[in-house]
Amino acid sequence: MNKGVAIITGGAKGIGKAIAQRMVEDGFTTVVVDMDKEAGEKLPDELGEKCHFMMADISNSNDVELLFEKVIAQFGRVDVLVNNAGIIRDNMIWKMSEHDFDRVMDINLKGTWLMCKAASTIMREQKKGRIVNIASRAWLGNPGQSNYAASKAGVVALTRVLALELGRSGILVNAIAPGLIDTPLTQKLPEDVIEKLILAQPTRTMGIPEDVAHTVAFLCDERMQFITGQTIYVDGGKSIGAGI
Ligand code: NAD
CATH of the domain at 215: 3.40.50.720
Q: Is residue 97 part of a domain?
A: yes
Find the domain containing 131 and state its range: 4-181+209-234
Q: Is residue 169 part of a domain?
A: yes
CA 207 to ligand 1: nearest atom: 40
Q: Is residue 192 part of a domain?
A: no
Confidence category of residue 11, pLDDT binned at 50, 70, 90 = very high
228 pLDDT more than 70: yes
Render pLDDT for 56-82 as a digit per residue (tens, 0 to 9): 999 999 999 999 999 999 999 999 999
Separation of alpha carbons 64 and 112, rounded Å: 10
Separation of alpha carbons 79 and 93, rounded Å: 39
The phi-psi region of residue 191 (left if phi > 0; otherwise alpha if psi is between -120 and 50; otherwise beta) is alpha
Coil, strand, or helix at residue 128? coil
- For residue 89, how far is its CA from the centre of ligand 1 (angstroms)? 12
Confidence category of residue 219, pLDDT binned at 50, 70, 90 = very high
Q: Is residue 186 part of a domain?
A: no
Q: Is residue 198 part of a domain?
A: no
Listed in order, strand segments (DSSP E) in the chain are 4-9, 28-34, 51-55, 80-83, 129-134, 171-178, 231-234
First to last CA, the chain: 45
Residue 56 DSSP class: -
For ligand 1, whether the C-beta of 180 sits within 6 Å is yes
Q: Is residue 187 part of a domain?
A: no
Q: What percent of the chain has pLDDT over 70?
A: 99
Q: Is residue 240 part of a domain?
A: no
Residues in Cβ contact with 96 at an 8 Å cutoff, skipping those fewer than 6 apart = 89, 146, 147
For CA atoms 200, 83, 148, 97, the dihedral sign is positive
Residues in Cβ contact with 75 at an 8 Å cutoff, skipping those fewer than 6 apart = 5, 29, 31
Nearest to 179 by CA among 157, 160, 194: 194
For ligand 1, whether the C-beta of 140 sits within 6 Å is no
Catalytic residue among 148, 166, 220, 231: 148
Render pLDDT for 148-170 as a digit per residue (tens, 0 to 9): 999 999 999 999 999 999 999 99
Q: Is residue 195 part of a domain?
A: no
Count of structural domains, the chain: 1
Average pLDDT over residues 7-33: 98
List the single range of 13-27, 29-43, 170-184, 189-203 with lowest mean pLDDT.
Answer: 189-203
